[in-house]
Amino acid sequence: MASFHFEIKSGRNGYDHSHYVAREGFHRKREDLVASGYGNLPVWAEDDPAGLWKAAEKFERKNGAVYREATIALPNELTMEQNQALVADLVSKLALGKPYQFAIHAPKSSLEGELIPHLHLMTSDRVDDGIERPADRFFARHDRNNPEKGGRRKSSGGRTRMQMRDELIVTRELVADTINRHLAINGHEARVDHRTLRERGVNRKAERYLGPVKVKNMSTKEKAAYVSARKKGVN
């Protein structure tokens, strides 16, 4: 059953996290990477997204985000090939004009053993304006009057907390609409909904996240009971 999950966070350790996303180094042992890629990198990054994040860690202002990451659940109703087309659509909308790196992971659920495909999308806030800059100036403060002398403008700059909240709501709806479009064109009736349970008039709590350790310690009977409750919508 298609379910909606969209989470966005920011971080400073972009270099290490890019290896986690791309399942490089010791992260390869997870063996759940379906596809990965990147785009809109500046020339000096030399087609190496890890190099972008390493430079961001060095030159981005100390209290600024090195990266933003969106984590989005992909519907099991779609084949992996269809989900890759969905991801291409999502990336084109969410990373417009921004350097990005993405990966599709599909680990197995520790509770039911089914695949859980999801997208990790890392983006830089620095929006392309057609001006080439060296790495140190790329992340410098933007100069509105003389943009060629300053850094790239940040998409997150100058927004109030209320504006950021409203933008997040719009983005959640955009993601849900994009997922539903791909479900529809591939012949599925299932749909996702970006609204909260309360906004939908559903009188129950959101499902609790158990985590792999707790699931591992559950008996077969306890797992079966939890899955049954999940399907009834009472978890």
Distance of alpha carbon 137 from alpha carbon 149, whole angstroms: 8
Q: Are 166 and 176 in contact (CB under 8 A)?
A: no
Backbone angles phi, psi at 51, to 5 degrees: -65, -35
Buried b (16+ CB within 10 A) or exposed e, 177-209: ebbbebbeeeeeeeebbbeeeeeeeeeeeeeee
Active site residue: 15, 20, 100, 209, which one? 20
The yes-or-no answer on residue 100 being catalytic is no
The one-letter amino acid at 91: V
Task: Measure Cα distances from 22 to 54, 131, 224, 235 in Å.
Answer: 15, 28, 34, 33
- Overall size of the chain counted in residues: 235
Q: What is the DSSP letter of 119?
A: E
- Contacts of residue 108, defined as CB under 8 A and 6 or more positions apart, other chains included, come to 32, 114, 115, 116
Please list the active-site residues: 20
